[in-house]
Amino acid sequence: MAEPVVRPARNGVGVFFHSVTFRLLLYLLPVIGVVTVAFSLVNFQTTRQQLTQLAENSALRTSELIKRATHYGMLLNRKDDVHHTIRQLSRSPGVAGIRVYDKQGTIIFSANGAEIGRKVGQQAEACIDCHASGLAAPVEEPRSRFRQFRSPDGERILGLINPIRNEPSCSNAACHAHRSDQRVLGVLDVQMSMTFMEHAIVSTRSQLAWATLAMLLIVTLGTIVFIHRVVRRPVNRICEGTQRVAAGDFGTRIEVETDDEIGHLAAAFNRMTGDLQVARTELTAWSGELEKRVAEKTEELGRVQRQVAHVEKMTSLGKLAASVAHELNNPLAGILNYAKLIERQLGEEPIAESSRAELGRYLEAVQKESLRCGSIVRNLLSFARQGGVEPAPAHLNEIVRRSLMLIEHHLKLNEIRLETEPIEGDDELVCDAGQVQQALVALMINAIEAMSDARGGTLSVRLRRAGEPFEVLIGDTGVGIPMEIRAHIFEPFFSTKGKEGGVGLGLAVVYGITRNHGYTIELDSEPGVGTTFRLLLGRLPKPPPNGVPGQLPE
C-alpha cells in the first residue's frame, strides 16, 4: 500500500506564492507591462513626431517670412537692406542662422557676416540633398528640404533649404535680369534651434515614464482586485465548501453570484453536495436496514443452531428411550401375566373374604400400574421410532374430524367450547393418517389440559391452505407456556402438570411424528392468554435434510 504524501504546511507568504492569484498575476502583469510600455513608446514617438512637425512648420513659416521680407530688397538689388533684414530676423527667438546661396554655392547673404563670400561644395550638409548623387545641376525638388545636425557647441539645429525661384518680376527687372529659362536663382538656408523641442521631448518622456508607472500601478491594483473578486474569493468559497464536504457536512451550499463559469461551477458543486447528501441518507438507511437484517439473520442462525442442538438431543433421547422401552417391555409383560395368574389362583384357594378382597385390590393395582407402564413403553417406542411411516392418500378434514370425535368426551367433562374451521375444496394429502391423527389428538389433549383447572375456555381448530402446505392451527385459552420452558416442551418426560398429570410423552410423540413426516411445527404462546400450535403439513411427506425436522419452537 502506497504511503500518503505529506505536504509541509505553508505560511501566509508560501500560500500566496502557490495561489491562483499569484499565478494569474505572474502571467498577466508581464503582458500588461509590455502593453503599457509599448503604448507609452508609441505615444512618445507620436509626440516626438508631432513636435518635430511643429518645428518644421515653424521653420517653414520663418523661411517664407524671410523670403517675403527680403524679396523687395533683392528685387531692387538693395543688398544693404537685405543684410539688415536678415540680421534683424536672425535675432528672433529660435533662429540659429540665415544664409542665402547663389546658384554657384556662394554665400551672398548671412546673419554671420564672416561667412559672406564663402563658397561651399555640393557635398556640404546644406547642399547634399539638392545635388543628389553628385549631379552638377541642383535637383529642383529635393528628397527632404529639412535636415537636422548639431552645431559645434552641441546644439541641435533644424535646417530648411528653401529654393529662391526665378519669378517673372525678377527675370524682367532691368537691374539684374536673369534668363527666363533659369528656374532657381539661389537657396535660402534657414537654421532653427531645436533646444526648446529637446526640452519638450525630455519633459514629455519624463511625464510618459511617470504616467506609465502610474498606469502600471493602477492596472496592477485593478487586476489584483478583479482577480480577488472574480476568481480568488469564489474559488476560496468552493475550496472551503469542499473541505466541509470532506469533513462530512453534505449540507454545505455555495452562494451563486454570477452566471459565468465559476457560477456554473458553484451550481454544479451545490448539485453534487445535494446528491451526496441524498446518497448519504440512502446509505444510512441501507446501513440501518443491513444491520437489522444481519441481526435477524444472526437470530435466525442462532435459532437454527438451537434447533439442531435440540434435534440432536431429542435423537439421543429417542435412542435411549427405544433401548429402555425394549428393556422394560418384557419384564412388564411378565409382571402383568404373573398378576393375572395369582388372581386366578386366589379364586380357587379357600381364603377369607376380607383377605381375598384386600389381595384382589393389590393385584388390581399391580395390573393397573403394569398396564400404565406398558402404555408408557409404547409411547416411548412411538417417539423413538425412526421409520415406520406408511404414507397413503388421505383427507385432512377427515383426519381432524376423527380426532375431534376422540376428544369429544374430554371437552364435555371440562366444559370447553369448540371452534372449528375446515378447508374448503381440495384437502387431499399423502401421509400416515394414523400417526397424523395421533399427533393432532395429543395437541388437542394438551390444549384441554391447559384449560382444565379453570373450567371452561375455547379450543380452536382451524385448517388453512398456506400455498403448497396445509396449515393446522390448534389454539387454547389456557395458562400459556412461559418463555423459559418453551425449549423443553418436546423433550420426553418433561411436564408441568405435576405427578398426577402424566409423564410428559405426549408432545414428544408429536415431535417424533412431525420429524418422521418432514413437517414443521411452530409455537406461539402468551402466559395468561393461551397457546397456539401451528403445524405445516406438505401434500407429500419428505424426509428432512440430515434427518432434522422442520422448524421447532424455541
Number of C-alpha atoms within 13 angstroms, CB side, residue 324?
17
pLDDT at position 174: 55
366-387: average pLDDT: 63
CA separation for the pair 444, 474 (Å, rounded): 7
- List the chain domain ranges: 16-249, 259-384, 389-554
**pLDDT: which is higher, 495 or 109:** 109
Contact 148, 138 (CB under 8 A): no
9 has a pLDDT exceeding 50: no
| pTM (two decimals) | 0.40
Dihedral (Cα; 488, 490, 492, 498), 10-degree rounding: 70
pLDDT at position 305: 75
18 has a pLDDT exceeding 60: yes
pLDDT at position 393: 92
What average pLDDT does the structure give for the chain? Answer: 76
Contact 439, 513 (CB under 8 A): yes
CA separation for the pair 188, 350 (Å, rounded): 197
Orientation of helix 20-75 relative to helix 79-90, angle to 10°: 160
**pLDDT: which is higher, 548 or 485:** 485
CA separation for the pair 135, 531 (Å, rounded): 142
**pLDDT: which is higher, 386 or 33:** 33
Dihedral (Cα; 68, 69, 73, 78), 10-degree rounding: -150
7 has a pLDDT exceeding 50: no
Number of C-alpha atoms within 13 angstroms, CB side, residue 407?
27
pLDDT at position 8: 45
**Residue 259: what are its φ and ψ, rounded to 5°?**
-110, 25
33-42: average pLDDT: 84
**Which amino acid makes up residue 94?**
G
358 has a pLDDT exceeding 80: no
128 CB neighbour count, 10 Å cutoff: 17
79-87: average pLDDT: 82
CA separation for the pair 317, 313 (Å, rounded): 6
532 has a pLDDT exceeding 90: yes
Q: How many angstroms separate the Cα of 399 from the Cα of each of 472, 485, 497?
A: 11, 30, 28
> DSSP string covering 149-217, please?
EE-TTS-EEEEEEEEEE--HHHHT-SSS---TT--EEEEEEEEEE-HHHHHHHHHHHHHHHHHHHHHHH
CA separation for the pair 43, 55 (Å, rounded): 18
CA separation for the pair 231, 225 (Å, rounded): 10
127: nearest Cα among 85, 161, 168, 164: 161
512 has a pLDDT exceeding 90: no
446-459: average pLDDT: 82
74 CB contacts (<8 Å, ≥6 apart)? 82, 164, 170
Residues in the chain: 554
Question: Is residue 43 classed as helix, strand or coil in its secondary structure?
Answer: helix
pLDDT at position 239: 77
Contact 215, 36 (CB under 8 A): yes
181-186: average pLDDT: 70
> DSSP string covering 495-521, please?
-SS-TTS--S-HHHHHHHHHHHHT-EE
Q: What is the DSSP letter of 117?
A: T
- CATH 1.10.287.130 is the classification of domain 259-384: yes
Architecture of domain 16-249: 2-Layer Sandwich (3.30)
**pLDDT: which is higher, 205 or 383:** 205
Burial (0-12, 13-18, 19+ Cβ within 10 Å), 159: buried
pLDDT band at 3 (very low <50, low <70, confident <90, very high): very low
User: In the chain, pLDDT over 90 holds for what percent of residues?
Assistant: 6
State pLDDT tens for residues 500-509: 445 456 777 7
- Homologous superfamily of the 389-554 domain (CATH): Histidine kinase-like ATPase, C-terminal domain (3.30.565.10)
Please state whether beta strands 520-526 and 458-465 pair in parallel, antiparallel, or not at all (unpaired): unpaired
Please state whether beta strands 520-526 and 428-431 pair in parallel, antiparallel, or not at all (unpaired): unpaired
